[in-house]
């Protein structure tokens, strides 16, 4: 299995349980590891034989602009669903963090893994 990674993608979205979080978008930082069985892309040199990371980034930006999530865990599951179903990833590892939400803490977040890791 090959792994495509996207590190420290920053996206503005509505995330949180407090009234101010429901009214004002926050920046989340997302890092992705996306397992693909498309090893043939190294031989074919064709974008259609792999997962296009630019398309993934565009898709996530579009979706997160339109949704509100109470929990980072729910947001992570949503992202996993897109990658596994739409992009046909075999396995994903997703790290999502809120930035600067608490005094003295740079980031808080979750990490999930879904799918079959070979």
- Residue pair 90/38 in contact by the 8 Å Cβ criterion: no
CATH top-level class for 2-115? Answer: alpha beta
For residue 40, pLDDT beyond 70: no
For residue 12, pLDDT beyond 80: yes
Q: What average pLDDT does range 46-58 have in this prediction?
A: 91
Hey, which residues are catalytic here? 98
Q: Residue 31: its pLDDT value, please?
A: 98
Tell me: the pLDDT tens digits for 94-110? 999 999 888 999 999 99
Sequence-distant (6+) residues with CB within 8 A of 50 are 2, 4, 36, 38, 41
| Domain residue ranges in the chain | 2-115
Q: pTM higher than 0.85, yes or no?
A: yes
Q: Residue 17: its pLDDT value, please?
A: 95
């Amino acid at each position: 299995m090959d792994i495509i990674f996207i590190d420290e993608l920053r996206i503005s979205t509505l995330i949180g349980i407090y009234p101010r979080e429901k009214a004002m978008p926050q920046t989340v930082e997302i890092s992705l590891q996306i397992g693909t069985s498309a090893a043939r892309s190294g031989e074919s040199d064709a974008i259609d034989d792999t997962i296009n990371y630019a398309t993934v980034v565009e898709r996530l930006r579009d979706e997160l602009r339109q949704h509100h999530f109470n929990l980072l865990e729910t947001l992570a599951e949503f992202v996993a669903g897109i990658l596994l179903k739409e992009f046909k990833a075999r396995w994903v590892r997703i790290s999502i963090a809120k930035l600067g939400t608490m005094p003295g803490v740079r980031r808080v977040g979750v990490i999930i893994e879904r799918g079959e890791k070979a």
